Amino acid sequence: MRGVTSISITLLIIASSIAGCIETLEEVTEVLGCTDEGADNFDADATSGLEELCLYLENEVRFIAAMTDAMAADPSSYLLDPTSGVSGVRYSMSMDGVDAESGMSVSMELLSVIMVDLESQSMYNRSRVSYMGVIDVDTEIVMSGTDIMVTNSLGGPMASELGESGSMSSISRDMTPNLEEAVRVASMGFSSIMAMEGMMVPGGMGSDEDIDHRDDSDESDDEEPGWEDFEPYCYDRDGEMVVQTWDSDDSQQTMERDCWEMGYEWVYSEEKEDDLHEDYDSVPTEGMLPEGASVVISHDPEAGLQSMFANSTDENGVMTMVIRLHVDGSFHSYDMTVDGHDADISMSFAYLSTDVISIPEIDPTMDRTATPIFTEVETMMVCDDGGLVPEWSVMDGWEDCEDGSDEPYEESTDDDNSAIEANDLHWESYLGGYCEWEGNPDDVDEDRWSCERDISLSDWHNWWYYCEIHDMDWFCTDEYGQDPAYEFSANSGNYNESNASEEDPSYVDGINWELYPRGHCEWEGNPDDVDEDRWSCKAAEWDNWWYYCENHDEDWFCTDGYGQDPDHEYSADNDNYDAVDHDDEEICISEGEDGVVHYDCDEDEGDWRYPVIMHAHIVNQVYNAPITDFELRVLDCSEDDPGDDSDPEWDDCLVMMAFPLNGGEIDNVTVEYLDNDGDGMVSSGDASVVSYPSDFAHGYEIQPYDTWAEEYSADSALIGPELPGFGAFLSLIGLLGAALIGRRQEA
Residue 6, pLDDT > 50, answer no
Q: 322: closest CA among 352, 355, 296, 358?
A: 296
Q: Are 701 and 634 members of one domain? A: yes
Higher-confidence residue of 588 and 54: namely: 54
Query: Poorest-confidence range of 134-138, 441-445, 470-474, 511-515?
Result: 441-445
Task: Establish if 26 belongs to a structural domain.
Answer: yes
Q: Are 551 and 619 members of one domain? A: no
Average pLDDT over every residue of 599-605: 48
Q: Are 562 and 617 members of one domain? A: no
Give the structural domain span for 652.
375-382+608-715
Predicted pLDDT of residue 220: 38
Task: Establish if 460 belongs to a structural domain.
Answer: yes
Q: Are 569 and 496 members of one domain? A: yes
Task: Establish if 178 belongs to a structural domain.
Answer: no
Task: Establish if 660 belongs to a structural domain.
Answer: yes
CA distance 419 to 582: 23
Query: Poorest-confidence range of 47-51, 127-131, 695-699?
Result: 47-51
Average pLDDT over every residue of 68-91: 93
Structural domain count of the chain: 3
Q: Are 434 and 522 members of one domain? A: yes
Average pLDDT over every residue of 501-511: 60
Q: Are 531 and 622 members of one domain? A: no
Span 375-432, pLDDT tens digits = 988 888 999 888 888 887 787 767 788 888 888 765 443 333 333 333 356 778 777 7
Predicted pLDDT of residue 196: 61
Cβ(626)–Cβ(175) below 8 Å: yes
Q: Are 567 and 619 members of one domain? A: no
CA distance 65 to 57: 14
Confidence of residue 131 (pLDDT cuts 50, 70, 90): confident
Cβ(455)–Cβ(436) below 8 Å: no
Q: What is the DSSP letter of 178?
A: -
Span 549-577, pLDDT tens digits = 998 877 888 888 787 888 898 899 888 88
Predicted pLDDT of residue 376: 87
Average pLDDT over every residue of 132-156: 89
Task: Establish if 155 belongs to a structural domain.
Answer: no
Q: Kind of pairing, strands 388-390 and 428-430?
A: unpaired
Q: Are 573 and 612 members of one domain? A: no
Predicted pLDDT of residue 446: 73
Helix axes 179-200, 726-746, angle to 10 degrees: 40
Q: Are 451 and 572 members of one domain? A: yes
Task: Establish if 395 belongs to a structural domain.
Answer: no
Say what percent of the chain tops pLDDT 90.
Answer: 25
Q: What are the residue ranges of helices labelled H in 533-662?
A: 602-606
Predicted pLDDT of residue 367: 95
What does pLDDT average to over the chain?
75
Predicted pLDDT of residue 262: 77
113-122, 163-172, 547-556 — most confident range? 113-122
Task: Establish if 249 belongs to a structural domain.
Answer: no
Q: Are 474 and 527 members of one domain? A: yes
CA distance 133 to 112: 19
Predicted pLDDT of residue 574: 85
Higher-confidence residue of 243 and 651: namely: 651
Cβ(87)–Cβ(357) below 8 Å: yes
Q: Are 554 and 617 members of one domain? A: no
Task: Establish if 24 belongs to a structural domain.
Answer: yes
Higher-confidence residue of 262 and 333: namely: 333
CA distance 664 to 670: 6
Confidence of residue 714 (pLDDT cuts 50, 70, 90): very high
Q: Are 570 and 705 members of one domain? A: no
